[in-house]
Chains A and B, each alone.
Chain A
Amino acid sequence: AQSVTQLDSQVPVFEEAPVELRCNYSSSVSVYLFWYVQYPNQGLQLLLKYLSGSTLVESINGFEAEFNKSQTSFHLRKPSVHISDTAEYFCAVSERNFGNEKLTFGTGTRLTIIP
């Protein structure tokens, strides 16, 4: 069975500073990787995903994540954060070739932007 670890439950960052949210996973098979974001009082939204190909994937609002197979990691980064990035971020995995595409989530990281 797969598992996801997000070691940082809360990350405070000053506005316009860079941020990295860490995600490590464990699985006996190859996986698909996702970052979901939950803004205050809203549902989960897909931020970005890694399925195959280039290990660096980007979102439309400036976030990027890099799949590192040897370190079983999929850390999320942004070079300069904005107040509007305040949200909870969830890393998730789905095992390839099982056919169910069910997601296993980490416990989330709450990103707080300090003006």
Chain B
Amino acid sequence: DTGVSQNPRHKITKRGQNVTFRCDPISEHNRLYWYRQTLGQGPEFLTYFQNEAQLEKSRLLSDRFSAERPKGSFSTLEIQRTEQGDSAMYLCASMQTSGLYEQYFGPGTRLTVT
């Protein structure tokens, strides 16, 4: 399967702990996006990469959040000192900037902070 993959699929953590999620995009895609989706809401943009460069971060992304995409391949999203408000589904999407404007989404990582 050459789709977008995300690991882990589920993460339960205690408040104050650090967590890291991984996203593996479709191999030829140069764009990678992170979104967050809470219950009853649509996904909200967090940040995106063009190859290895992080080009934009949403104001939703507090200083406790950091994302990387070393070598322009997979990406990681780390949340430090988790809070209960961080509980959400974290979605990754990738896209090739070929003019089709089609983002392909992974299955998401569901984070529960207790």
Contact = CB atoms under 8 A, between A and B. Distances in A.
Interface residues of B, number: 25
Interface of A: 4, 6, 9, 32, 34, 36, 42-46, 49, 51, 90, 92, 94, 100-108
B85 to A, nearest CB: 18
A92 B73 CA distance: 26
A43 B106 contact: yes
Interface string B15-26: 000000000000
A32 B100 CA distance: 11
Nearest to B107: A43
B44 A105 contact: yes
A19 B91 CA distance: 28
A7 to B, nearest CB: 13
A45 B4 CA distance: 11
